[in-house]
Amino acid sequence: MSGWKIDRSQMVKAAVRAAAEQGVSDGVEVWLEEANRTVPIEESTLGRSGTATSQGLRGTVAYDTPYAVKQHEDTRLRHDPGRRAKWLELTMHEQRTRILDAVAAPIKRALR
């Protein structure tokens, strides 16, 4: 007796890829949300300029003001309590588990 053999590997790969892309999108949103908690604020312009974008399996969090790089890199600048230089970098390290969990969640759901 012969039976049908169905190869679902392409379907599974596509589902996992789509889930991974969603995970990257979710992860950068978490990163931005957390980074905004310690972004230096004077008038909130810097924080409002933050964006989380993803394309495929790449994600980016960026701040788009003329002074964003200086505020991030210059550790000699003084900031309000709870605000800091290197906010984006430090947030990635401090929140890596939460960010990676956000990336992994859609993938885990796709594999169930």
pLDDT band at 60 (very low <50, low <70, confident <90, very high): very high
pLDDT band at 1 (very low <50, low <70, confident <90, very high): low
Question: Over 70: is that where the pLDDT of 19 sits?
Answer: yes
Residue 45, classed as helix, strand or coil, is helix
| CA separation for the pair 39, 83 (Å, rounded) | 6
Look up the pTM and report it.
Answer: 0.89
51, 61 in Cβ contact below 8 A? yes
pLDDT band at 43 (very low <50, low <70, confident <90, very high): confident
% pLDDT > 70, the chain: 98
Residue 70, classed as helix, strand or coil, is helix
Cα 67 to its chain centre, rounded Å, is: 22
Measure the CA dihedral 108/59/13/97, to 10°. -20
